[in-house]
Amino acid sequence: MRIWFPVLIVAGLLVWQLGDFDNSSQPPPAHAAAASSGYPQSIAAGPVSVFENHGFVVGYSEQRRDPLWVAFSLRPVSSGRLPPRPRFERDPRSQAGVNYRDLTGSGFDRGHMAPNYSMAKLYGVEAQRQSFLMTNVVPQRPRLNQLLWQRLEEAEIDNMASRWRELWVTTGPVFDDDRETLSSGVEIPDMFYRLWLDETEDGELRALALLVPQNVRGDEPLSDFLTTVDHIEALTGLDFYPQLPESEQERLESVRADLQAWEFAAIACQPARYGDNWQGKNGIRLQFDRCH
């Protein structure tokens, strides 16, 4: 049984070649598949506004002024240049009205949840533009955003998606009880989660869950952040994969992923693309090979 996230790809949208933009893996226009593991559901996370975009879906908190979850699927892509990088923009669908200036001078990067690169390569220029809407953005510390988070995104599309038939990703912030906001009212997350869902050749689902704090060096082994889906549910107040049978949810969510089955060692210590820019900053000597 093939399990799908209900990611909306607008019917009739076709994106053709733009410079070196690769659309060889661009899927035919389609509506969300009927069989679905379901959007994450709020159990104790408060109201959620669901915004469907080209290639990804956002569950947004108007109160926190942050996305609580973002879901999308990945498949293999070839290398090549991207279209020009868009500007960050306010999402007119959101009542919060967060714009790019709300993070300017805050000391935090504008961290994408649905990645710019993956959305552009798989779903086209409109998906890339929508990934720059502020409903897809959270405050991330620069060392996290440019080092460890970038490593995760790169490993996800370049290694994991090419290794398996299809990879489903759910990602978002985690907040503790000590609410801290920017002067604009945007809440600052304490951690971030990333969930991978995949189907084996035998048709069995498997999940991998990662939980990453804001304060990282950037060169930590990615395997240091392994956790369970259940733990992330407890921290976020969200219920992931709600349309799967309870027995399947229990099997997927209660145990840590088998890193050997996921061939995770191959990506755990990959260096960051922008690592040279950070080498020696704040007295930290980055050592991406320290887990070998």
* pLDDT tens figures, 256-288: 999 999 999 889 999 988 888 889 998 988 888
What is the pLDDT, as a whole number, of residue 224?
95
Mean pLDDT of 179-203: 94
Between 10-19, 113-122, 183-192, 211-220, the lowest mean confidence (pLDDT) is in 10-19
**What is residue 292's predicted lDDT score, i.e. its pLDDT?**
53
- Does residue 38 surpass a pLDDT of 90? no
Name which of 171, 201, 196, 211 is nearest 252 in CA terms.
196
Say which residue, 204 or 164, is predicted with more confidence: 204
- Could you tell me the CA-to-CA distances from 240 to 135, 147, 194 in Å, in that order? 20, 27, 12
Report whether pLDDT(55) > 50.
yes
Looking at per-residue confidence, does 15 or 153 come out higher? 153
Residue 194: predicted pLDDT: 98
Q: Which amino acid is at 83?
A: P
pLDDT at 252: 95
One-character DSSP codes across the chain? ---B------TT------TT---TTPPPP-PPPSSB----EESSS---EEEE-SSEEEEEETTTTEEEEEEEEE------PPSPPPPPB--TT-SS---GGGGTTSS-EEEESS-HHHHHHHH-HHHHHHHTBGGGEEEE-HHIIIIIHHHHHHHIIIIIHHHSS-EEEEEEEE--SS--B-TTSPBPPSEEEEEEEEE-TTS-EEEEEEEEES---S-S-GGGGEE-HHHHHHHH-EESSTTS-HHHHHHHHSS---TTTTTTHHHHTPPPTTHHHHTTGGG----TTTT-
| Predicted local distance difference test score (pLDDT) of residue 6 | 47
- Measuring CA to CA, which residue among 167, 78, 72 is closest to residue 112? 72
Is residue 36 pLDDT above 60, yes or no?
no
Q: Which two tokens stand for residue 174?
A: 């985690």
pLDDT > 60? residue 14: no
- Pairing relationship of beta strands 191-199 and 167-174 according to DSSP bridges: antiparallel
Report how far residue 132's alpha carbon sits from residue 128's, in angstroms, rounded to the nearest whole number: 7
Residue range 129-157, pLDDT digits in tens:
999 999 999 999 999 999 999 999 999 99
For residue 17, which amino acid is it? Q
Please give the Cα distance from 262 to 264 (Å, whole number): 5
Query: Mean pLDDT across the stretch 193-206?
Result: 90
Beta pairing class for 205-213 and 238-239: unpaired
pLDDT the model gives residue 26: 39
Spatial CB neighbours of 204, under 8 Å, sequence gap ≥ 6: none
CA 80 – CA 131 distance, rounded (Å): 19
Predicted confidence band at 25 (pLDDT cuts at 50, 70, 90)?
A: very low
Whether the predicted pLDDT of 4 surpasses 80: no
Q: Residue 30's pLDDT band (boundaries 50, 70, 90)?
A: very low
